[in-house]
Amino acid sequence: MSERPTRTSWDKQEALARPVGLSKGGREAPVLVCADIERRFGGLRALKGVSLSVEKGEIFGLVGPNGSGKTTMVNVMTGFYPPSSGTVTLFGQDVSGIAPHRIASLGVARTFQNLALFKGMSVLDNIMLGRHTAMRPSALGTFFYWWWSQREELAHRRVVEETIEFMQLEDIRNEPVEVIPIGLQKRVELARALVAEPRFLILDEPMAGMNQEEKEYIARFILDAREERNTTILIIEHHMDVVTAICDRVVVLSYGEIIAEGEPRAAIADPAVVKAYIGERAARRQAGAAA
Amino acid sequence: MFYRRAGIRHTRYQDERQIWPLPFDRRLALLIFLLAIFAPLLIDRLYLVSYLLPWVIWSTAALGLNFLMGGAGQIHLGYGAVIAIGAYASVHMVRAGLPFELAMIGGGLLSAAVGMIFGATALRVKGLYLAMATLAMQYIVDFVIIQFPAISGGTQATLQVPRVSFLGVEVTGDLAPYYVALLICLLVTLFMLNLRRSSFGRALAAVREKDYAAAVIGVNTFRYKLLAFWVSSFIGGVVGSVLAVCYYRAISPDQFHLDLSIQLVAMVIVGGLGSVLGSFFGAALILFAPILLNQFFGFAASELGMTISTDLRSHVPLMLYGAMIVGFLLWEPLGLAKIYANLRNYFLVWPFRHARQ
């Protein structure tokens, strides 16, 4: 792992962070603080001044209708789209506009909405790649493999095997990654993210297209990752049952703006959220039926 | 069956991560290695010098290009120019009195430096555009070599390679050049075999497959693309010096034209992108297919009494050879190596086909 960021300017971050109701490590500095993020694509304002903070050890949900800017938000956090204005602070370090691979080496891992596994490689090699930041790859190390690389390779293999066991991927570890079912591929991608031992894990729709059983598996892995590895997790998810079951706190986005936040059940029941999801008239009708 | 896969259980990661986990493959590799070592005793000198030696050298070159195209997914249409830089640089160094070993590394370094400059375009362009950028390298290098008499020794001139020695052995006659070429080939092959199981190779493959996903796991795609060009061009430069000293013995600009680059790309594609074995297969096919076809038509003309005009005789092999490359692209894009892999997979567990793995 790369060097940990020094503990400076926490106070400023605390000031930036919005006061949050529910969070486990409320007194510790937040893992992620996004302050007034704006992202424009030409004339389109995909994010219109979004501010949020993720506390250490929490499972934080980012929800919202399609096209509300959730993935854009994550792309801003991980350095793919530098924010047009506003700042992203990770572990107390300003990372706005820093390249994705450097953000990864700070201890941030993520998965993608549409799988981003490496075809033509085995499941094992894909997961081994998750250890990249912890290894020292070099051309000479490859040439002198037996003397320079083998020991490192085997040491990291042990770490990878722990995660393979944790994610129950033992029997497919040697399969080419493109031949296994989508549900398993999603799990492999999660394993690749976890094996980096991230301090902050971002999951972009980890359960898209899964059946109930597979969803429950993934939910269990996410909870275990938090319990056993003390990982802070940000999750984008459309399955509201999952969001309410595992998230400590959610932020609801719509058209690039935060329309609700807080405890999941309360936030999702918020009239503005209902309206964003099913439209104003349907929301009114539903409210009428309830009354 | 032949490969005796059944019952082999590795209990250490180390054993599982061997270059050849199956004992059969290891023995096969050893056999081929021994055959290569004792080839001068087994085959005629003429065949050694005019078939085996070029095959070894071109296979090494194909490996170097395969590193870039198959390993890192960057196309290069100017690899002939990379080899030319290595050849000219090392010959000039040898002529200036530098020992061949150093000249070889020097040629490699110069190739690597120039190759990386052109490779830097890979940071901005991909696919077809990168092909054009590397094609430009081919023409620029050709032009520079021809236009500067200090490099080429004058227009249409050939540059003689003086007598050199490698690790204390004089590189003359038939045997020494063959063993020098074989040693370099062996070193490059080992590098390529290790690439598949090292973090460096995996990072390159990640850049090849999806650069944004590579970035998110911490791979600096910028650096790795440049490194890929550096390493590949270094290998190309070393091959160039071996080619000049061990095979051509006198070099002229026309030996390194675009045809060479295209042939090398054909070797890599026909052999199999990203496959070590494929580079050897590809080099063999591209080198020997025209010769064999030519001989076949010669045989048909003389023995079977077919009337084939000399014009046709000289062109048909080339046409068939072109058709073959098109055929590979259409029906087996992963090349000869894939055909071998399919056969091997079939026989791994034959006749118990249900027992895959």
Chain B interface includes A138 (CB < 8 A): yes
SS3 B44: coil
Give the residue-averaged pLDDT of B56-60.
96
B64-78, B130-144, B161-175, range with the lowest pLDDT: B161-175
Q: In chain B, what residues touch A150 (CB-CB under 8 Å)? A: 14
Cα separation, B89 vs B105, in Å, equals 10
Chain A interface includes B198 (CB < 8 A): yes
Q: Hey, of A101, A110, A112, A113, which one would you mutate to test binding to chain B, going by the most B CBs within 10 A of its CB?
A: A101
Fold topology of B38-349? ABC transporter involved in vitamin B12 uptake, BtuC (1.10.3470)
Distance from CA of A267 to the nearest CA of B (A): 31
* Interface touch A99/B201, C-beta < 8 Å: no
Tens digits of per-residue pLDDT, B321-339? 788 888 888 998 889 999 9
Interface predicted TM-score (ipTM) of this complex, two decimals: 0.85
* Interface touch A121/B209, C-beta < 8 Å: yes
Taking residue B328's Cβ as centre, other Cβ atoms within 10 Å add up to: 22
At residue A30's C-alpha, the angle toward residues A26 and A34, to 5°, is 130
Q: In chain B, what residues touch A135 (CB-CB under 8 Å)? A: 199
Q: In chain A, what residues touch B194 (CB-CB under 8 Å)? A: 142-143, 145, 149
- A249-254 and A257-262 strand pairing: antiparallel
Chain A interface includes B206 (CB < 8 A): yes
Q: Alpha carbon B68 to chain centroid distance?
A: 11
* Interface touch A128/B201, C-beta < 8 Å: no
Distance from CA of B347 to the nearest CA of A (A): 19
Closest Cβ opposite residue B220 in set A101, A142, A143: A101
pLDDT, residue A88, reads 94
Which residue in A205, A211, A208, A207 sits closest to A235, CA to CA?
A205
Q: In chain B, what residues touch A152 (CB-CB under 8 Å)? A: 199
Give the residue-averaged pLDDT of B204-224.
91
Give the residue-averaged pLDDT of B299-307.
76
* Interface touch B227/A139, C-beta < 8 Å: yes
* Burial call B228-243: b when 16+ CB within 10 Å, e when fewer: bbbbbbbbbbbbbbbb
* Interface touch A101/B202, C-beta < 8 Å: no
**pLDDT exceeds 80 at position B226:** yes
- A32-41 and A44-54 strand pairing: antiparallel
CB B59 within 8 A of CB B270: no
* DSSP summary character for residue B67: I
Q: In chain A, what residues touch B198 (CB-CB under 8 Å)? A: 137, 141-142, 145, 149, 153
Which residues, numbered 255 to 274 in chain B, qualify as contacts with chain A under a Cβ-Cβ cut-off of 8 Å? 274
Q: In chain A, what residues touch B200 (CB-CB under 8 Å)? A: 137-139, 141-142
pLDDT, residue B1, reads 57
Chain A interface includes B216 (CB < 8 A): yes
pLDDT, residue B104, reads 94
Q: In chain A, what residues touch B357 (CB-CB under 8 Å)? A: 174
Closest Cβ opposite residue B209 in set A99, A119, A132: A119
Tens digits of per-residue pLDDT, B75-95? 999 999 999 999 999 999 999
Tens digits of per-residue pLDDT, B227-286? 999 999 999 999 999 999 999 988 988 889 898 999 999 999 999 999 999 999 999 998
Tokens coding A268: 């999702």
Cα separation, B269 vs B336, in Å, equals 9
A83-92, B102-111, B160-169, B172-181, range with the lowest pLDDT: B160-169
Distance from CA of A242 to the nearest CA of B (A): 25
Minimum CA–CA partner of B13 in chain A: A154
Closest Cβ opposite residue A132 in set B14, B210, B217: B217
> What residues pair up with A53 in beta bridges, in sequence order?
A33
Cα separation, A147 vs A262, in Å, equals 54
Chain B interface includes A179 (CB < 8 A): no
pLDDT, residue A231, reads 92
pLDDT, residue B155, reads 63
* Interface touch A121/B201, C-beta < 8 Å: no
Helix B23-37 to helix B175-195 angle, to the nearest 10 degrees? 160
Could you state, in chain order, the average pLDDT of each consecutive group of 10 residues for chain A (291 residues)? 40 40 56 93 91 93 91 93 93 91 93 89 94 89 90 92 92 91 90 92 90 89 90 92 92 92 90 86 78 64
pLDDT, residue A20, reads 41
* Interface touch B198/A142, C-beta < 8 Å: yes
pLDDT, residue A243, reads 92
From first CA to last CA, the distance across chain A in angstroms is 56
Chain A interface includes B63 (CB < 8 A): no
What count of Cα atoms within 13 Å lies in the side-chain half-sphere of residue A9?
A: 12
**pLDDT exceeds 90 at position B304:** no
Cα separation, B77 vs A116, in Å, equals 29
Q: Hey, of A135, A142, A149, A197, which one would you mutate to test binding to chain B, going by the most B CBs within 10 A of its CB?
A: A142
Taking residue A285's Cβ as centre, other Cβ atoms within 10 Å add up to: 12
